[in-house]
């Protein structure tokens, strides 16, 4: 190590050029003025190309390119030397051009869509501030905001008190809950692990999100120990079947510990009967977790909160405001009824370098040890700013309108030839087949269904290549490929619903 200080006192009194290991250490190495200018220019592009075009239906939802083609268009390679600002701005343009516009009024492909200007501002603020929410000293504002938002969400669930944590997604929230239920069931597992214990068994419906299997596998419980409960024709868990399975598990000598009900299933948008499920959980002493990642936002609506009747009896709830409420990916809370510090007891590792106990402020505000993460993003903040801007009434209006639009679409589907509903929806998932002209007179039978199965992928390919809209399809529990239309965005109107049906007819007229 060479430390060479070249004294140039004559020229620079204060700023000596200090050289260590061949590196000059005086002054910053970044040109901040040029950097700020770059940010300004890029923000202009973002404003014009993304934000202002967000609800322009004359724009394409996507500019489809196959992977190999897109690789050629984008200059992906990272090289030894950097690119000019001009080249970088062009790259930003290209990235935007070939990305899917999830805020477009005709993006119906996932359980999120649209743009909320307030949430977006909050996200820009946090990206610029770059906080991590583990300790009050580093994230004073964002930790207080998280506490406030969690309290408010708990109010809507109907608990008198509780706890919670924002985390990176509904899947992770479900994992949190599963581990928490396990800890409650047997706290020693934290130290001892599952080895040598009887099989832990949990119950969830056949229609649950796939994260239940991922969680059971990740947590060492095993996917075979997830007992899937039969659902009725609307996709709701059948309580009697749950009762049977719990009894079966007991007879097998395994250890049932958890029921995961779903409020708003991914494909059909079904709500499990929470009140009846809660009775069974109470009877058998099982933790009740409700995966309301998708359906939780209905709690904001006085009209539709009845869909989640009984949720106040749950022990934990996963709820993603980034879905129907448009808080932006990712914004997901796990909420817990317990207020005795269970979350902290279960998750804490007491790292001394971060959670010092001799700090000069009340360290109960250092909530990072409730998390499986160390660095954690301030996701509650975007939901908070949006809520401040719209008020509860504005959020409620979003939910009511989405469900009214779904209702409208359902009635239109019933009127139109060639469209067939899979079932009457309860929520914003409208599932339907489109039967193209050539199949309409075909006899019902395996050949018909096989041919119908091939229709949705073709229509999807055509809409993607045209860029006119995006709509998901899937086969599901013995049913051949059907479309799942999800209505979310407040930019969406009746006209977009009509367009959707017209466009399917247009794209499939020769099929």
| 313 near its own copies, judged by CB under 8 A | no
Question: In Å, how far are 128, 211, 291, 322 from 169, measured between CA atoms?
Answer: 22, 10, 11, 9
| 129 near its own copies, judged by CB under 8 A | yes
Binding its own copies (rule: CB under 8 A), the pick from 158, 273, 394, 467 is 394
Q: Which of the residues 277 through 296 are near its own copies (CB under 8 A)? A: none
Binding its own copies (rule: CB under 8 A), the pick from 6, 10, 11, 349 is 349
| 58 near its own copies, judged by CB under 8 A | no
Binding its own copies (rule: CB under 8 A), the pick from 4, 8, 12, 148 is 148
| 186 near its own copies, judged by CB under 8 A | no
| 418 near its own copies, judged by CB under 8 A | no
How is the beta sheet containing 479-486 ordered, strand by strand?
A: 107-108, 470-476, 479-486, 429-434, 419-421
Binding its own copies (rule: CB under 8 A), the pick from 8, 247, 339, 356 is 356
77: which 2 tokens? 């390679």
Tell me whether residue 287 or residue 384 sits nearer to its own copies (CB atom).
Answer: 384
| 302 near its own copies, judged by CB under 8 A | no
Residue among 398, 425, 399, 401 at smallest CA distance from 411: 425
| 330 near its own copies, judged by CB under 8 A | yes
Measure the CA–CA gap between 77 and 255, rounded to whole angstroms: 52
Residue among 8, 10, 44 at smallest CA distance from 26: 8
Tell me whether residue 243 or residue 365 sits nearer to its own copies (CB atom).
Answer: 365
Measure the CA–CA gap between 332 and 320, rounded to whole angstroms: 4
Residue 295: CB minimum distance to its own copies, A: 15
| 488 near its own copies, judged by CB under 8 A | no
Q: How many CB atoms lie within 10 A of CB 352?
A: 7
Binding its own copies (rule: CB under 8 A), the pick from 106, 289, 313, 322 is 322
Residue 292: CB minimum distance to its own copies, A: 15
Q: Which helix (H) or strand (E) holds 396?
A: helix 380-415
Tell me whether residue 100 or residue 423 sits nearer to its own copies (CB atom).
Answer: 100
Q: Which of the residues 430 through 449 are near its own copies (CB under 8 A)? A: none
Binding its own copies (rule: CB under 8 A), the pick from 160, 233, 362, 417 is 362
Range in contact with its own copies (rule: CB under 8 A) among 157-165, 243-251, 475-483, 503-511:
475-483
Tell me whether residue 236 or residue 376 sits nearer to its own copies (CB atom).
Answer: 376
| 78 near its own copies, judged by CB under 8 A | yes
SS3 of 90-109: the string is HHHHHHHHHCCCCCCCCEEC
Tell me whether residue 131 or residue 162 sits nearer to its own copies (CB atom).
Answer: 131
Binding its own copies (rule: CB under 8 A), the pick from 206, 397, 418, 448 is 397
Binding its own copies (rule: CB under 8 A), the pick from 109, 205, 245, 297 is 109
Tell me whether residue 284 or residue 465 sits nearer to its own copies (CB atom).
Answer: 465
Question: In Å, how far are 249, 427, 487 from 469, measured between CA atoms?
Answer: 46, 21, 13
Q: Which of the residues 237 through 266 are near its own copies (CB under 8 A)? A: 266
Measure the CA–CA gap between 350 and 352, rounded to whole angstroms: 6
325: which 2 tokens? 């409420």
Binding its own copies (rule: CB under 8 A), the pick from 108, 142, 432, 499 is 142
| 468 near its own copies, judged by CB under 8 A | no
Ramachandran region, residue 235 (left: φ > 0; alpha: ψ -120 to 50; beta: rest) = left
Long-range contacts of 219-222 (CB under 8 A, 24+ apart): 219/175, 219/178, 219/179, 219/182, 220/193, 220/194, 221/178, 221/182, 221/194
């Amino acid at each position: 190590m060479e430390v060479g200080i070249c004294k140039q006192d004559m020229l620079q009194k204060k700023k000596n050029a200090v050289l260590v290991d061949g590196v000059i250490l005086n002054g910053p190495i970044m040109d901040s003025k040029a950097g700020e200018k770059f940010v300004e220019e890029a923000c202009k592009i973002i404003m014009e190309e993304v934000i202002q075009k967000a609800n322009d239906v004359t724009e394409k939802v996507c500019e489809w390119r196959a992977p190999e083609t897109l690789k050629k268009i984008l200059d992906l390679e990272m090289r030894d030397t950097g690119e000019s600002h001009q080249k970088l701005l062009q790259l930003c343009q290209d990235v935007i051009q070939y990305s899917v516009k999830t805020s477009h009024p005709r993006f119906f492909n996932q359980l999120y869509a649209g743009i909320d200007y307030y949430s977006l501002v909050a996200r820009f603020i946090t990206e610029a501030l770059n906080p991590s929410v583990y300790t009050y000293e580093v994230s004073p504002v964002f930790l207080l905001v998280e506490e406030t938002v969690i309290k408010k969400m708990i109010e809507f669930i109907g608990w008198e008190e509780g706890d919670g944590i924002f985390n990176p997604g509904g899947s992770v929230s479900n994992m949190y809950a599963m581990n928490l239920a396990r800890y409650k069931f047997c706290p020693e597992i934290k130290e001892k692990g599952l080895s040598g214990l009887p099989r832990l068994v949990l119950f969830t419906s056949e229609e649950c999100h796939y994260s239940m299997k991922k969680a059971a596998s990740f947590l060492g419980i095993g996917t075979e120990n997830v007992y899937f409960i039969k659902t009725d024709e609307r996709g709701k868990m059948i309580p009697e079947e749950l009762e049977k399975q719990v009894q079966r598990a007991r007879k097998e000598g395994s250890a049932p510990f958890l029921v995961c009900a779903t409020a708003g299933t991914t494909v059909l948008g079904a709500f499990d009967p929470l009140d009846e499920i809660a009775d069974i959980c109470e009877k058998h002493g099982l933790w009740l977790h409700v995966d309301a990642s998708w359906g939780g936002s209905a709690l904001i609506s006085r009209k539709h909160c009845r869909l989640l009747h009984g949720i106040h009896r749950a022990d934990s709830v996963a709820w993603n405001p980034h879905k129907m409420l448009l808080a932006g990916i990712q914004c997901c809370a796990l909420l817990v009824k317990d207020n005795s510090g269970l979350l902290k007891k279960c998750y804490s590792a007491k790292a001394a370098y971060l959670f010092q106990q001799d700090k000069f402020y009340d360290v109960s505000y250092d909530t990072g040890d409730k998390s499986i993460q160390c660095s954690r993003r301030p996701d509650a903040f975007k939901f908070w700013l949006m809520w401040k801007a719209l008020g509860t009434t504005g959020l409620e209006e979003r939910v009511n309108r989405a469900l009214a639009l779904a209702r409208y679409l359902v009635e239109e589907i019933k009127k139109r030839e060639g469209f067939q509903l899979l079932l009457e929806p309860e929520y914003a998932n409208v599932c339907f087949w489109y039967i193209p002209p050539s199949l309409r007179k075909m006899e019902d039978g395996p050949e018909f269904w096989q041919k119908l199965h091939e229709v949705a992928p073709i229509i999807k390919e055509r809409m993607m290549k045209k860029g006119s809209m995006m709509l998901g399809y899937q086969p599901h529990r013995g049913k051949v490929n059907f479309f799942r239309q999800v209505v979310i965005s407040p930019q969406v109107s009746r006209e977009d619903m009509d367009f959707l049906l017209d466009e399917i007819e247009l794209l499939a007229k020769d099929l």
